[in-house]
Copies of this chain bind each other. A is one copy, B any other.
């Protein structure tokens, strides 16, 4: 199914012949400010689509608000109050001052019991909202660095002061599990710099009686020096940062057994600088599975361990690739069959699901086609099916499908439009289906997989009503390979006049694991694009090869020479722009952040006569200064791919700089460390070129809060000064 939005875009383009009418229409409308549009802005909350915070209590849909919880009738969408903040405080003898203040974070962990889990007053509490009393509580203090609560055993594991603690469900004393935790020995937290889908370091077994946890020894990793400017006298705050080709950290997985009180480590053996990813437990809590990857990232194995002994029990699956294998999702056991699990792999060229048994036999491929499984949402236990998100409808959409484990048959569970973010009920029958389309800011429907009925529940008002909204459109061009379709988005001023010539800014990211153009509201346009369009610019955004959701070949085209194919594709975009009569080819700018900063400087220095002005944020300059995990996946090491590193490095390009380029960095960026942009500046100084520069003191890789408003004012002003 081909997306209808491309056609929508073409229709929008055909409609371009009526600029005067549009100008009249918008004449008395409001103008956007950065306080409206930017996520740190003072009026930002009023300018984004409305939403409803929903959660499931079994198959009952609950809406969470500050003061109330509502039960939502799945057939009508009608809401009835389940209980209120005041109720809970009354039941517990608390007041708003010492008690619960909001219900936003309430969860309902037990399908079959009227219990709500709340955290306040230094306690984690289970409140029975039918019997109107607290039925269980546990201290929740000191869970500062990491925390994981298991709803079955009600045990908690947490990290404080770099040490790992076990906090028993029965209110007994906390047990300290480690003593050598430090900046160098890291327990219970995310490892491998959050690559490979890792985002935490505490993994309870299903029964909550065994805790697997990460231990990362980074004592051998070089410090990157960071300066904290905020104390009376600035201080040195070093950050362990393993750079590509350099010594990396060593990760192991420990298991704490609540019953025995003992801790052991999985015996994974050598070499030690491998990646231990996607920890998963067997349903019986006896076996731990990991996807283990060699440092070169081209050999991935699914390995099982006996949780009681730490012994390696088997290798169930192995995947190698000429370029790289990138495990990102743990295996998932079928809820109705403990002997089978689902594994995600893009070994056939696209990310798909495969059914395995615990002997390591691949039983069958569950999904197939030139589209990708983007997420496993859950299971429908009655239908024995898997609920997935995929872009089968269109490369820029995300829709919810049911996949029969037995037959592989797929059924669409939503309206087949736009971009859906489903929340699945316990049984998997119901979906709270929040979605956007290019024209719809946000709708939420309640979908019943059994009846196939989709009940409208919430429609966001248009938050931009009354404003001069720019024109959003979308389309495709061919990539530099001549065959691949690339998706673009264009944003034009509200009073766009095709007889005029507009300064045009290419916004670019371009790196892996991301895309910019999709079938969300306004094609996923970033609000700064609206601001710039209001100022009289055309914005153009193209997802080049190397970006996500388009399959392995598309993504891996950039292997060992990051930025090169991406630039070729972006230049196809520029050629397209130049073919448009209303684009001023002498006033083309470019802006991007992070990988997009790398792309911005790459484009400015490789095509110095094309781009007049650029703003590059947090740019990678030479991949040798980027970290091991991400860097070596795409570039191998500086030792093994010297020509690739040399080709992609922007240091020798510093001399080519011709247009106005502003480089912006967080002064304390721990992700793309400031050595990148400062050494580029050094090369420019040597070569006699003149980039501009700005640094946000104390900030990391992205400017947070209201600083983002300041940043975008800065970026805008630079184009106003030099491109307009």
Mark A residues whose CB is within 8 Å of B: 222-225, 227, 229-230, 232-236, 238, 241, 243, 246, 624-625, 667, 673-675, 678-679, 681-682, 685, 688, 690, 692-698, 707, 709-710, 713-714, 717, 721
Contact A233 B229 (CB under 8 A): no
Contact A682 B714 (CB under 8 A): no
A419 CB → nearest B CB, Å:
34
Chain B residues positioned under 8 Å from A679 (CB to CB): 229-230, 697
**Which residue of B has the minimal Cβ distance to A673?**
B234
Contact A696 B685 (CB under 8 A): yes
Q: Contact check: which of B224, B234, B707 meets A233 at CB < 8 Å?
A: B224
CA distance A233 to B241 in the complex (A): 9
Contact B678 A690 (CB under 8 A): no
A527 CB → nearest B CB, Å:
18
Q: A685-B710, A693-B693 are in contact. Are A234 and B229 (CB under 8 A)?
A: no
Q: Contact check: which of B223, B246, B681, B694 meets A236 at CB < 8 Å?
A: B223
Q: A222-B233, A238-B236 are in contact. Are A693 and B694 (CB under 8 A)?
A: yes
CA distance A717 to B284 in the complex (A): 70
Q: Contact check: which of B234, B236, B674, B721 meets A721 at CB < 8 Å?
A: B721
A483 CB → nearest B CB, Å:
41
CA distance A568 to B229 in the complex (A): 32
A624 CB → nearest B CB, Å:
8
A-B contact pairs, 18 of them (CB 8 A): A223-B236, A225-B225, A225-B234, A229-B675, A229-B678, A230-B679, A232-B246, A232-B624, A233-B246, A234-B673, A667-B678, A678-B695, A681-B696, A685-B696, A688-B709, A688-B713, A690-B710, A692-B692
Q: A233-B246, A234-B225, A695-B695 are in contact. Are A710 and B688 (CB under 8 A)?
A: yes
Closest 7 CB pairs of A and B: A225-B236, A682-B697, A678-B697, A225-B227, A234-B675, A222-B233, A685-B710
CA distance A526 to B321 in the complex (A): 64
Chain B residues positioned under 8 Å from A707 (CB to CB): 685
Q: Contact check: which of B682, B690, B693, B697 meets A698 at CB < 8 Å?
A: B682
A620 CB → nearest B CB, Å:
15
CA distance A678 to B721 in the complex (A): 24
Chain B residues positioned under 8 Å from A675 (CB to CB): 229, 233-234
CA distance A682 to B230 in the complex (A): 10
Contact B714 A690 (CB under 8 A): yes
Q: SS class of chain A's interface: helix, strand, loop or mixed?
A: mixed
**Which residue of B has the minimal Cβ distance to A690?**
B714
Chain B residues positioned under 8 Å from A697 (CB to CB): 678-679, 681-682, 685
A341 CB → nearest B CB, Å:
41
Chain B residues positioned under 8 Å from A224 (CB to CB): 233-234
CA distance A238 to B693 in the complex (A): 25
Chain B residues positioned under 8 Å from A246 (CB to CB): 232-233
CA distance A696 to B679 in the complex (A): 10
Contact A695 B681 (CB under 8 A): yes
Q: A694-B692, A694-B693, A714-B690 are in contact. Are A682 and B229 (CB under 8 A)?
A: yes
CA distance A229 to B682 in the complex (A): 10
Chain B residues positioned under 8 Å from A709 (CB to CB): 688
**Which residue of B has the minimal Cβ distance to A683?**
B697
Chain B residues positioned under 8 Å from A678 (CB to CB): 229, 667, 695, 697
CA distance A693 to B714 in the complex (A): 12
CA distance A679 to B230 in the complex (A): 8
A523 CB → nearest B CB, Å:
30
Chain B residues positioned under 8 Å from A690 (CB to CB): 710, 713-714, 717
A714 CB → nearest B CB, Å:
6
**Which residue of B has the minimal Cβ distance to A679?**
B229
CA distance A710 to B713 in the complex (A): 27
**Which residue of B has the minimal Cβ distance to A684?**
B710
**Which residue of B has the minimal Cβ distance to A721?**
B721
Chain B residues positioned under 8 Å from A243 (CB to CB): 232-233
A40 CB → nearest B CB, Å:
11
**Which residue of B has the minimal Cβ distance to A703?**
B685
Chain B residues positioned under 8 Å from A232 (CB to CB): 243, 246, 624
CA distance A520 to B625 in the complex (A): 50
Q: Contact check: which of B227, B682, B685, B694 meets A227 at CB < 8 Å?
A: B227
**Which residue of B has the minimal Cβ distance to A717?**
B690
Q: Contact check: which of B230, B682, B695 meets A693 at CB < 8 Å?
A: B695
Interface centre among A222, A223, A236, A625 (most CB of B within 10 A): A236
CA distance A717 to B681 in the complex (A): 17
A660 CB → nearest B CB, Å:
9
**Which residue of B has the minimal Cβ distance to A238?**
B236
A306 CB → nearest B CB, Å:
40
A294 CB → nearest B CB, Å:
24
CA distance A135 to B713 in the complex (A): 73
